[in-house]
Amino acid sequence: MRPPCNLQLEPCNLNLLPMSPIFVRSLPFGLYIALLALEGLLPGWAPGFDVRWLYPLKAGLVALALAVLWRHYGELKSYGLPLKHLLLSLVVGVVVLVLWVNLDAGWMLMGEAGEGYNPTDAAGRIDWLLVAFRIAGAALVVPLMEELFWRSFLQRWVQQSDFLALDPARIGLKALLIASALFAVEHLQWLAGLVAGLAYGWLYVRTRNLWAPIVAHAVTNGLLGAYVVTTGQWSFW
């Protein structure tokens, strides 16, 4: 068999290089988490830099990673959902949103609630470009990135190491709970995160289609953005 490339004689064709199924579903998520950590360090490293503008960069780099790796996501090649699954996804997304904005008591948080992503200036005027980047990233990029990692990879992998061969309908309660609990730890609102993880995970099992939790997740995040901008409760961001 001809090797995919000879580093001394010709450039590599990345499309011919073998890609681990775990790697391609973890890279965009890992990139996002790394940039999130950088966001916390930047104020000390670059005091004059407005860290709010790191979010568009973060979302853009993750979107680029998803685009480059898209051909490896076989679970996303079947576009569209049956009408009943689409409606179910929309309902789940709205229900999760309603629960999310109400599950914010002190004991439901991992630490103290901060200022959140506040797109206003010193005079209280909203920077709508920041808002547009934030909502677009949260509603279009994050659902793809997180559902590929948490549901398509982790939730199936907990059930069966050869996760690509596993029909989502065969995911058991143990795998659903473990993946949802870890998803909760990722969020400040741990209880809301747990509820969301269970809802999206159940939807994946129920429909056997990753687009269902992606749509539900996008609806939750998109409507949450509208709620935050309307009410000024930036801490939810």
Which segments in the chain show pLDDT lower than 70? 1-18, 43-44
pLDDT at 14: 47
DSSP structure string for 24-51: HHHHHHHHHHHHHHHHHHHHHH-TTS-G
Closest among 148, 23, 154 to 74, alpha carbons compared: 148
Domain locations in the chain as residue ranges: 14-236
179, 150 in Cβ contact below 8 A? yes
Helix%, strand%, coil% for the chain, nearest 5 = 70, 0, 30
Helix (H, G, I), strand (E, B) or coil at 216: helix
- Which pair of tokens denotes residue 197? 């993880």
- Under DSSP, the state recorded for 153 is I
- Which pair of tokens denotes residue 189? 């609102």
Write down the pTM of the prediction. Answer: 0.90
| Tens digit of each residue's pLDDT (9 = 90 or more) over 124-163 | 999 999 999 999 999 999 999 999 999 999 999 999 999 9
Residue at 109: amino acid letter? L
- Which pair of tokens denotes residue 125? 């005027």
89, 210 in Cβ contact below 8 A? no
pLDDT at 125: 95
| Tens digit of each residue's pLDDT (9 = 90 or more) over 134-145 | 999 999 999 999
